[in-house]
Amino acid sequence: MVWHLIWMSGIGVAAGFYTVPLYALIQQRTKEKSRSRVIAANNVLNALFMVGSALLSIVTLSILEWSIPQLMLLLSCLNLVISIYIYTKVPEFFLRFVIYMLAICMYRVRTTGGQNIPEEGAAVVVGNHISFVDWIFILAASPRLVRFVVFAPIYYSPALHWLFKVAKAIPIESEKANPEAFNKALDDIAQTLEEGELIGIFPEGKLSADGSIDTFRHGVETIVKRTPVPVIPLHLGGLWGSMFSRKTKWRLPRLRWSLVHISIGEQVGAEDVTADDLRNRVQQLKSRYSPDLN
């Protein structure tokens, strides 16, 4: 009896991990005028599956004379199949689940200025580059998917390619090394912005070697000149010295939670965008919101 209670509690907790992000995603991604209809349709589908589950239980337990563990195993397998189907259709759902688990298990994330990310419409998000997981925490702070521009050798690395593909990242090469791939990346960025999505870039073009903010390159100016959209400056603090930064060699994460502070500044109009000004804005965000963090 005790084990039955434990397993049923586990099912309830797992259901919460599934349904809460799902409803949040539905509310974020549906238009206001059709949101109530989408939620109602989702409730109807839930009711139909509940009735189907009850009928399945009657058939397996009463007619086929299965045991409860056998029924639970069958339901688990069906849920696994459905989960895989959902993750293939909506990969962002799985990506946000991974981000959420990383954030709550290893870090405490504090965000200021989140209202500066528009609910809809195109924009370019630029920030300092402290660690290999900066993009993950920016995604955690953003209510919308941000498509990041990633250096091609990292994008196509065997260990990370699947993750970048799920995140819909855009690979880019050096203009000197591969001008064709560089121009294709610019075309993909322009198309993404024209479709009203968010683009994320790290204008430093490399990881920080000492925790400071290096010179911003002029690629962001090229992007905005081709597709005039606002730019949102952002500062990441608290990741310098972590296992994902270059301060120390690879080591295990700390046992205590580390604080990551994400400071998001006001939008800069396309006509006012310069690389130097954006760097100054990110520097101001660092000193204003997180003076004790790198």
Residue ranges, CATH 3.40.1130.10, the chain: 98-289
Q: What is Dmax (Cα atoms) for the chain? A: 73
Rg (C-alpha) for the chain, rounded Å, is 23
Q: Give the mean pLDDT of 271-290.
A: 88
Superfamily covering domain 98-289: Glycerol-3-phosphate (1)-acyltransferase (3.40.1130.10)
Token pair for 142: 């953003």
What is the model's pTM?
Answer: 0.77
Name the E strands within 118-190: 123-127, 146-151, 170-172
* Band (69; pLDDT cuts 50, 70, 90): confident
* Band (165; pLDDT cuts 50, 70, 90): confident
Q: Are β-strands 231-237 and 258-264 bridged in parallel, bridged antiparallel, or unpaired?
A: antiparallel
* Band (291; pLDDT cuts 50, 70, 90): very low
Residue 13, number of CB atoms within 10 A of its CB: 9
